[in-house]
Structure formats: C-alpha cells, structure tokens
Amino acid sequence: MIAYPDTSFLCALYVAQSTSAVAIAHYRRMKEPLHVSVLLLGEFRQSVRFQIFRNSKDATQGYARNTGLEALAKLQSNIDAGALVVVPTEWTEVFHLAERISAQHTIAGGHRFMDVLHVATAMHLGAVELLSFDANQRKLAAAEGLAAKP
C-alpha cells in the first residue's frame, strides 16, 4: 500500500465540494485500489449521517438527505467492486502508536485524536502517503515521515 486516506479525502470523493476535483484526479492516478480501515469507514459513514441530520434541522447546513444517502451507497458500491479495499488492522498496535504520536506532537501542534489515529493507522499499514485536506493533520503526517497528498 502506498497511500491511506482520511475522512476529508473520502468526503471529497463522495460528496461534491471545493476539494473534489483534486481528490478525484488523485484517485484516478492511483495504481492500486484505495486502502481503508474499518475506523475510517465508520467515521466517514457517521459524518455523512450527521451531516444529513444537520441539514434536517437547518437546510443551509450539512448534506441533503439524498446527497448523503447517495454518497453512502457509492461508497458501498466501490467496496463491493474492489475499488476500495478494507484492510485488516491490529488496533492495539495502532493505539500504542497513536499514544506515542500524541505524546510527541499534540501539546505543541493541537492535534485531534481521530487525526492522530488516522496517521497512526497509515503508519501501521505501511503507507508512505496520507491523503488529506486537513492542514493540521498534514503537518502531523509530515512530522511522522509520511508524504501528505494530494
């Protein structure tokens, strides 16, 4: 595996937003399926569902129901087709790595735990790139020796 995405990258692939063209172009250039973890899929799915909820309370916020449900269906279709591969992960090892990363970087860098977990997961899986549009997470990835793309 060369690259591991975070939720911002998946959101850009599955819901139209300002970063979608860049994410789609990067994905199309990849020479292998996109590798994902159950944690990443859970966070993405929860995020989409929460955005649908937000939109139901205020139509100027979040994702319209059809948009969100379509994104979830496209994601599942891509998993079923093998375009996204759910890779096995040893979560105890990931959490130990995340603790080291957090202790080393969070006080100075202000990193959120899910961002630390995504970087730790990428490293655990042997990725050399983290695909993210989150500027602070990209800094953390770079500090840990990962190339931040796209």
- How many structural domains is the chain composed of? 1
Indicate which CATH number applies to the domain containing 16: 3.40.50.1010
Burial class (CB in 10 A: 0-12, 13-18, 19+), 132: buried
- Which domain covers residue 93, as residue numbers? 3-148
**Which SS3 state, helix, strand or coil, does residue 129 take?**
strand
Per-residue pLDDT of the chain in tens (150 residues, 90 and over written 9): 689 999 999 999 999 999 999 999 999 999 999 999 999 999 999 999 999 999 999 999 999 999 999 999 999 999 999 999 999 999 999 999 999 999 999 999 999 999 999 999 999 999 999 999 999 999 999 999 999 999
